[in-house]
Structure 1
Amino acid sequence: MFVWGSQVFNNMDPENQTHVAEFLLLGLSEDPQLQPVLFGLLLTMYLVTVLGNLLIVLAVSSDSHLHTPMYFFLSNLSLIDICCTSTVVPKMLLNIQTESKAITYAGCLAQVCFFFIFVCMDNLLLTVMAYDRYVAICHPLYYTVIMNPCLCVLLVLVSLLISIVDGLLHSLMLLRLSFCKQVEIPHFFCELAQILKLACSDTLINNILVYLLTILLGVGPVSGIIFSYTKIVSSILKIPSTGGKYKAFSTCGSHLSVVLMFYGASIGVYLSSAVTDSPRKTTLASVMYTVVTPMLNPFIYSLRNKDMKALGRLLSRVAFGPSCITNLRTKWTVQILKLLL
């Protein structure tokens, strides 16, 4: 039985397949006693992520001193981090609050599409930022000429276009698949690899597409980042003074930290899925690049950059100050989360 939108086509054993109206997300834990703790922790992390990245966007847009290519890309990265986290976390919070594991078929496909768009955009923006740092350090005299506003906007738009094509390809290819009665996804969001495991029809084309796009949009940007930082390190080592070396490194230290976190978490998810059969371990590793990394990005950039240290102190007060959330499990929380979805 094939599922195409709301259409059902019978061509396989009806005992093994059924119309898929929804999937079940098993989440981070099935222990009922852990649900309130997970809800409070995830909601706090989500609010800090949204607030921290939103403050960076507002700071960059309102301060004329920050109207430079580096901060232009940073503000776009912060905006994408908000969108990426919002694709996953609100639905997970709503399921915990309502004690439901369900996500509709259409909602699952939409989540796959937007998740790939924002993760790919994150990946490409980090590559663009590496190129920006390469030009700034290796060709400082030509920096303003090369990294002009038109090129900066063009790089962001091209990255967005590529990301949209990537997300649409993955989600549209899922429409050709049929699914068995077992529709439990051992994850906290509709992760593509887990969905493909539930399919009863042939997934060869889907797997080929995954590997091909991973090579193009994974290996390519990583190679670009490695090349940029190889040139950057080579140029920094040629600087005679220690102070000059430190100043040059400080301009790219924050970006390098975020790159290591993002790709380290992504590689961790891949390795955990390759070396273990436990979906739970893979799920916990996925939390790093879907929740933790976007939350830490504002702190890394603001605390390591003298132009944004005031914002860093504000973020610290927001994260570690008295909590303003007095009752997490109320009907108002559910309504807010529904509006976010």
Structure 2
Amino acid sequence: MAGITNVAFRQLCREQGGGIYVCEMITTRALVERNPKTLRMIAFGGDERPRSLQLYGTDPEVTAAAVRMVVAEGLADHIDLNFGCPVPKVTRKGGGAALPWRRRLFARLVRAAVEAAAPAGVPVTVKMRKGIDDDHLTYVEAGLAAQDAGVAAVALHGRTAAQRYSGTADWDAIGALKQALDVPVLGNGDIWEADDALRMVAHTGADGVVVGRGCLGRPWLFADLEAAFTGRPERRLPTLGEVAATMRRHAELLVAAFEPSEAEAAERRGAGRPADPERDGCTDFRKHVAWYLKGFPVGSELRRSLAMVSTLAELDDLLERLDPAQPFPLDTLGQPRGRTNAPGKVFLPDGWLADRDSAEVPAGAELADSGG
């Protein structure tokens, strides 16, 4: 969910229902080196609790240093270690979904994070996939290693890295992991509606669910999840007018999130690049338009214009052209949202699969920037 779960979107989701809302993936080295972009990405709302920070790293020592920084400076209340990212720029360096294959390195890294977080009582969790591909599954062994290292919970996306976001998530694997572990197990994959979450928990015995693509353009999914898990039958089916109001709120929050500090504003003025938070926020909002309008009968020209907005006034004018009485498109319920790409080759460092017991950090593995 890189580029999606920033402070604005998390606030929008929190306004809908309860849960833990995790920030975008942050690389440990960029955090330790205080990369300005990274420090902006770990911003949390003033009333946001718990503050959940997602870290990606491949070096146990760098990861420990990042966690110590989080603890010492009170930057977050929860740390989630990402071992699920399948994108090539991450796996080709041995990170994300590739790393659990190197079981000793994985165990070292998780233990280093847990020990660094322990003095402040900050819980550490891990999220991962089933493995690299069907011939290189790691999830049960990695889950046991994470449990032994002292994590508070383990989340499993029921796909391999090779599957990316294709096909159907393997909920049986989530059930197998639940049977193998004593710590809580959270299930991830194909939760498009609140009733999917209930089915997953019933099928797997999982202690909770993790939502990714299902909330794209549908932050009200968390209201439905809250209702479902408390036994209430109501589900949100917003009209196009209600969706338009949510879109406007999202854009407004993004504009506020892009408001620079005084120091940042002065730096940009000095560089001849004055800050324009309204333009930046509206530009960031553009990618959400298609998700919000999925299934609604909105003309291609209006869709295209909405996906090119630069100001809130422009957005307001375009949203007024929508038919507010249009009912929610029921045929989109249960349908995938976001990435639905085909299976593909998993790019790995040379010789990665040859030695499962190597604890060495791959050369050049630490990424210099954040995002995944």
Name the one with the larger strand percent.
2
Query: Larger Rg: 1 or 2?
Result: 1
Name the one with the larger helix percent.
1
* Greater RCO, CA 8 A, separation 6+: 1
TM-score w.r.t. the length of structure 1 is 0.28
TM-score w.r.t. the length of structure 2 is 0.26
